[in-house]
Chain A
Amino acid sequence: MRKLLSLTLLALAGSTAFAGGYRVSIQGQKQLAMGHTGVAVVNSAEVAFFNPAGMAYLDKKFNLSVGGSALFANTKFQENTFNTTAYTENVGTPFSVYATYRVTDWLTAGLAVYTPYGSSVEWDQNWQGAYLVNNIDLQAIFVQPSVSIRAGEHFSVGGGLIYATGSVNFNRNLYAANETFQVDNDPTDLTLDATGITAWGYNLGIMFNPSKKVRLGLNYRSEITMEARGGDATFNDVPVIAQSLLTNTTFDADLPLPAEVTTGLSVQLTDKWLVAFDYNYTLWSAYQSLDVKFDNGLPTSVNPRNYKNASTYRIGTQYKASEKFTVRAGYYFDESPVQDGYFAPETPRNDSNAFTGGLTYQLNDKFGIDLSFLYIHFDEIDNSYDYNANGRFAGTYKSVVFSPGIGITYGF
């Protein structure tokens, strides 16, 4: 228990990573193992994220699920026109904490803390794409107090208010190569750093159980715009000639964490065997451009992103092999929101096929240990970012993502 606690604390201190875009779909060990389905699955307190309406159908009065994953995201870049190769290895630690408490027969309260967005990519400083990004670390933690109200066995609604808190740290070179903007051959670069960004949103869901064996769910999580105001913009390696111009300053920038609609169903095929299907539609088109406004008169940095809305198709299953063991498996296809010509190395993600698995070892009626693993396969992709004044950045990307995770479930 102490070990698990320290793991959780580690996760809180660490950063998160990876997504289709910068979405990180690791919001619970049990559901991740089932292809991250869950809008119509009532398994554990994790449902507070997937569909707060489902909290009301949990068997136990009190449910706690705590988990964390070690997310390894490795990306290779190459292009043969200029013979460029680059490699980045990143580790993120998404985590989640869910608790629910049945107040009365029809009302359940819950608290969810999770990390649905984040990105951590660190290329070698001054690599060939340095004018787009050297490194980025984007973190967001959502805290969501929720309630769920059920009307009998067939229908429930739920919702929660989301308090989001986040930070971003981003570094890139000002120019591709420039004899002027460098100090001792170290190119001038810019670090943007904003912490303590807060915003509000909400999560709403309904669940409908036409029979004891079938559940249908619908969930909507609102868009949350992280508005960085007065973040620190720091110029490094500024030549004397430009020091009066490139003064350290503050900046404003907005980063949308897009809304997501999920619908799905689960079917209890036998007493032991459950299958679930989810469909996510993420409204990524909110992310049109990353504009950084500087407060010292420097021109606004406009970085077109032009994301498109994207779908994810998920299937998952769990089989209760014995009183002690439950095994899970899943698959999903995750469509990238990044369009051709906007493929920037800060989120080098194309469409992916993810394979998940995991198991629960139930120590006793109250306490269980969850294990999960996630493997995401990306095809090689040839793409480019065409909207930087320094020139087009094109090449072939190949990513591999793997994430083992562990969690505990406690309930009575």
Chain B
Amino acid sequence: MKNKFIYLAIIAAGFASCEPEFENPVSQDYSAGEADFSSYVAVGNSLTAGYMDGTVSRVGQTYSFPNLLAQQFALVGGGEFTQPSYADDVNNLGGLPLPGFNTRLIIDAAQGGPEPIAGTTTVTLAAQATAFNNMGVPGAKSFHLLAPGYGNPAGLAVGQANPYFVRHATSSTASVLGDAMSKNPTFFTNWIGANDVLSYATNGGAQADGNTPAADHNVTGNLNPATYGSNDITNANAFASVYSTIITTLTSNGAKGVVATVPSVTSIPYFTTVPYAPLSPTALGGATNINALNAQLYGPLDNIFTAYGEPNRVNLLSATAANPILIFDADATDRSAEITGALTPTLGAQVAAAFGAVFGKARQATAQDLVVLPARSVIGTPNASSPSTLININGVSYPMANRWVLTANEKAKVASATAAYNAAIISIANANDLAVADMNAILNQLVSGLRADNGTLYTANYFSGGTTEFQVLFSLDGVHPNARGYSVIANEILKVINNYYSARLPLLNPNNFPGISILPTN
């Protein structure tokens, strides 16, 4: 009988150690399909580099979409994936030791608004002279990828080089694409082209001075990028030619890949956050102020513009509803002479001439105009270049400079260039049998809400407080995704790869990626 107990004990032990096993363990579920991820190389701009919150930082870079993709590729034979070193960003502040390259943006809970995190960048321009798998260079336009010397430190002062590429170019004559090809890619992603139109858009269609209109080379017909200003719109034919060269080069060794289209500006919070008519009666200081502004400025301007056939160019300010801001429109008919003439009897020739100069190209913004994100800290503040303190309030008594508003006209140029680029990208991809991730279409879904694979509904909204933080995919610069946003982008690319190359790769759960950085104080 004793034996029975022993048997029972053995049975018991057998059951106790019994682990649940799946019929199809998830680890055996994945495959590379027709793709070969052994050497994956990503080329592109800031969106590829993992740029967010206005910079590349040591931690932010780990969330670059190519790095996220590479983690998934590693499950199905993906090789090592390297990125430019940010080991020097010891405190994860980002930034560059150059004017205008600030530390990363954070929300200072004590202040409310986004601002660069306190501290001095420790990122250096020391040459790493190494080709990396992630060849995303922030600021690069399509033609920059082909430009030899784009990483030459000597070119920085004259604007011929890019500080980010200076950090890792293999030589002073190296090009981004050349360094990328030295990694012998078997698979690539190419998301380039956004800056060919975005630098124009983010600058409100202005050159670096903020006022002079930048050129749209689809209008000028200039096909030579070497002669372009930094905020100009690249000619679509020049773009297509450059893009074709990039793709021919990347596929020269038989590599497969994914190309991504250029997102339209209307899906980016940088252009959709600040309303065109933010001037509430309270913000304008109440009825007394509004009456004074109408009597002394808006009334006379309205009369003059109406007299010359533009009755709605400026209207009287409302004391009950929010009012549009006053803007400088480079494309408006110049009425400075008419304004000067009309106001001379009451204000005297000198003051009237000053009014003419300030308001000659002014108009009120309309719903068709896009006010850029940084304008929100400019609207309602005094303008130092105003001739008089009586007419010096930006957007109220002084027109917002060209750079702060992407006018309807400028927006149309951007939209038409974007469409032309995307047509070129898709047709070149199709001709080379490459998968297309239509980021333009995907980001456009964010406008009404994109249901991500974890079930969460994400929107293109800018951060607007802690309670909506979960839904925010864009970083505080309003242009680039945050880590969570990059995971959504990586997912869209993974789905394209799964579909086009018959691969089976897992997605990333956006839940597991952080959103906005909020600090108690800065």
Chain A interface (Cβ < 8 Å from any Cβ of B): 70, 72, 74-76, 78-85, 128, 131, 175-180, 239-241, 371, 373, 375, 378, 380, 386, 389-392, 394, 396, 398-400, 402, 404
Contact = CB atoms under 8 A, between A and B. Distances in A.
A386 B15 CA distance: 33
B465 to A, nearest CB: 12
A81 B509 CA distance: 8
Contact of A179 (B11, B511, B515): B515
Interface string B493-522: 000000000000011111111111111100
Given A78-B25, A178-B514, A398 B508 contact: no
A241 B110 CA distance: 9
B18 A402 contact: yes
A177 B513 contact: yes
Nearest to A386: B455
Interface string B1-35: 00000001001100110111111011101100000
B75 A83 contact: yes
Contacts of B512: 128, 176-177
Contact of A399 (B20, B484, B519): B20
Contact of B26 (A78, A131, A179, A241): A78
Nearest to B512: A177
Contact of B519 (A70, A78, A241, A396): A241
Interface in B365-411: none
B453 interface: yes
A396 B22 contact: yes
Contacts of B469: 178, 180
Chain B interface size band reads 35 or more
B22 A391 contact: no
A386 B455 CA distance: 8
Q: Give the 10 A-B residue pairs with the shortest CB-CB distance, closest first.
A: A392-B455, A179-B514, A83-B506, A176-B511, A402-B15, A398-B20, A391-B454, A241-B520, A82-B509, A78-B26
A29 to B, nearest CB: 13
B470 interface: yes
A82 B508 contact: yes
Contacts of B345: none
A85 B19 CA distance: 14
B511 A390 contact: yes
A323 B123 CA distance: 86
A282 B128 CA distance: 69
Interface string B83-114: 00000000000000000000000000100000
23 contacts: A72-B15, A75-B20, A76-B21, A76-B22, A82-B454, A82-B506, A82-B508, A82-B509, A85-B26, A128-B512, A176-B509, A176-B511, A177-B513, A179-B483, A179-B518, A241-B109, A371-B8, A386-B455, A391-B456, A392-B454, A392-B455, A398-B21, A402-B18
Contacts of A396: 22, 26
A197 to B, nearest CB: 32
Contacts of B309: none
